[in-house]
Every structure is written in C-alpha cells, then in structure tokens.
Structure 1
Amino acid sequence: MHFRTLIVENDDVSFSKIADLIQENRPNWEITQRLQSVKEIEDWIPEFNQFDLIFCQVELPDGNCFEISGWEEINTPVIFIAKDGLHALKAFDSNGLDFLIFPFEKSRFIRALEKVEHFNLGISFMKESSYKASNRTFVPKDYQKRFLTKIGNKFTFIPVKRIACFYSEDGMTFLVESETSQKYVVDYSLNELESELLNPEKFYRINRSVIINLDNLVEMKPFQNGRLALSLKAKTESGFIVAREKVNEFKSWINQ
C-alpha cells in the first residue's frame, strides 16, 4: 500500500526520527513534503487532502498549529505530535487520528501506522473486552448503562453518558451528573466501579478517590509536584487532580 506522507516538523532530529521509522517499517510510504512553520501550514492546508497521511508537530517556531482553522475539513488522517499531553484533547477535537508524545517508543509509533492503515481500509477499531476461545468468537463485555440512585425519598436512574465522575468521601460513593453538577449516592465502591462496571475506555481512576468520564474532560493543566489538574463540565467542591504516579499512565490512556 503506497502512502504519500506530509511531515510538519521544524526540528531536524525529530523529523529524521519520524522519517527513519517510516522508511524502516513502511518502505513503500513516500515522504513527499515537509513543512516547518504555522505560516506554511496556513499556505498548504487547502492541499492537505491530497496526502494519504500527515504527521504534525503541535508547537512550531511561529506558534501553535491549532491557531490555523480548517483542521476539521481535512479527510486525510493526521497524527499530531507534542512534548506533553496538554494538547491531546485539542488534537482529537481537530479530527486527529492519533496523538504521540515525543520522545515515543518505536512500538507506539508502529501502532500509529497500523491505525492509519486500518483507517484507510475503513476498519473500525473496537477494543474487545473478552474472548471466547471455544468457538473463536469475540464476546464484548456488557458494561453498566445506567445507575440507580436516591436523593431524599426519590429514586432515579442516571445514564452513564450523563455522569461526569464518581468520587468517594467519608466511606460513601457519589456520582456527579455532568449537566447539573448534582451528586447522588451509589451503592458501589470505587474498586467495584473500576474493575467490574465501567468501560475502561471511557472512565479512568485519576487518584484513590475519583474516577472521571473522559467525555466530560474539558481541560488539563500542569499542577504542583508533577501532578495534573483537570477541569470537567461538572463542578465539585474539590478539584480533580491526577496523582503523580498516574500521570504517565493517564496521558497514555487519553492517547489510546
């Protein structure tokens, strides 16, 4: 399969690593163009759909690549690259197919190439949770779709898609609704939620007390002592802080 590849990267070392890995693992993929600035992106973006693959460094000498409008109109798969995970949400909002944190491992780069190949073949990537070996068929795990909660004397069901997060406090577990920031008591521990009931592609335990829903994540910023501070659509009395020992895993989870 032949791919015409565009690389947007001003750093020669980074460019060489990307080019060498492409040549080593996909020798029939041709690097047909290199851009090195936001200004060049602005000039070339109307032509981006002529390429089969685009690698794009987020931070360039004259600014941030997302300063340019038009990413949403690009049909070509784009793999964004940055030195940290702070731009991951913006990358996927801009129709990015993947997001790599530099320096990246060779195996991670190859997975990105495979994702591009499957994208171009029209294959949908779905991570299956369990495998039935007896007849060699996949059996997706049935995760919780809604939670029964109680507030006062009233019982109500909260669909999973409306849940911003779960947190524990004083021996009780609460869920927070994304639209209203209303909290409800649930009869499960965080361990039960994490291991049995919640889809791990959507929910992540950022510390001992909080599990967040990725679909409700708005922003993340560096925080003291190597941690990350998150902003969700819902508000709570305490903030959302990713524990230092979970930061790298959390970035990888967002990037999966």
Structure 2
Amino acid sequence: MKLLIFEDEPLAQERIIQIIKSKRKDWDVLGTAQSVSEAINLLQQFPDVDLLICDIHLADGDCFKVFEQEDFQIPIIFLTAYDQHALESFNHYCIDYVLKPLQESRLLQAFEKYEQLCLNEQNAEVNPLMVQAVLDKLSQNGYKKRFLTKAGSKMLFKDINEIAYFYAEDKIVFLKEIGTSKKYIINFSLDELEKKMLNPSQFYRINRSIIINVEALIEMKTYHNGRLKLFVKSSDDLDLIVARERVGQFKDWINQ
C-alpha cells in the first residue's frame, strides 16, 4: 500500500510517519510535501498512490489548490485544526476528517475506515451516511460553552455567546463582555483558546493579543498600513486592529 503525506509542520509529519511505521508496517510512504507546489509535483511523480494524508493548510495555501490542477481520484485523509472545511473536503474523495491536535488512536481509526471502504471493496466512493456521521461528530467537538472567570473576589460563569473578545495584557488574559465595559480574568493563554477551546468558525485571532467573536462584530474600517480596525458590541477604548499579514485571511474567514 503506497501513500503520500502533505503536512507543513515537520514534527507533525514525523509523528504521522512514526505511527505508520509502528502500526502499518506494510504501508510505504513514497514522499512528503510541505507546500502546494511540492504536493503537485509528488502527485505527478506518483499518480498511482493508494492514499493521501493531507493537512488542509500547507505552507503556501490550502491543499484544495492541489486538487484543482487535475482530477486526482485518490482517497484522502484530511488533517486540520479547523472544522470549517469539512463539507468542501468531501468534494475530494475524503475518507475521513481528523482534527488536530493529532491523536494516534484517531488517526488509526481513519486508517481502519480507509481499509474497510477501499481495500476491501476497491471502491473510493464515500457513502452519504458516512459524511453525515463525520459532520455530526464535528458538531460535538468539545469547544467550550462557558468560562469560569474572576472579577475581584467573585467567581462567575460567562457563556461563550456573552463574550465580545479575549485579549492579553501583561501576561494576563481577559475576556470582554458584550454590551458592557466589564472584563474578567481567565486562566488560559490565547494559544490555548485559539487551538483547543474556541470554535474557529466563530472566533478569530486578529493579532498576537486579541481573539474576537464574529457575533459581536458591528463593522470594520480600513486602518493605517493596510490593516483593519474592528468595532464590536462592547464599551471600551481598546483598539481592535487586524494585523496586516492576517487581513486577507480574516476577510476570507468573515466571508465564509
């Protein structure tokens, strides 16, 4: 069984290879790619591979650009930290959609699904019931629904839909309440919030210090040096500025 791995994070790439070597010793990794261009070259070099393991966000763009070049009818296990591409992934012979951080047991489950669907039946078509099952699972992905917060000596719960944005200041992370000027301390870093706890279809990290809730967004305006300034349903003086390097991706996100 021959496969290719498209993954732009070296550590993640190495972990996938180690899992394959340990749990699927008869599988042969023919090559790896970190970018769209490298992936296209590999597919042209090895057009008869049996399986692709593919991170959606590669170094130079989304992996879907790879499959726009030619009609590669190869089963794919997609890897990603985000769930908003689930529907689009099933336009490209998706066998499974594995969310990061990557767990070995979850990847092995995807391998088993591939073996059942493709190796046994020699058929890469995906049953619509399987698509729905994956989407149902994604809808129960464990994103946080509320946060335990601190304001002075008080401990309060704040529902996720009450939060206008999160921000870091002097190594302390606060959440800002929609419709007021109140802020509350939480015991998580912005990295933890972004990568593990917040629904990426609802929350976006606009710069190193701020993650905003799209439900709280009122308007946005052009700002200095190609940046954007956002206005949300919260009373405060903090400037919510989208970093220049994130403006394009932010516009795509807000327009999804």
State TM-score, norm by structure 1: 0.49
State TM-score, norm by structure 2: 0.49
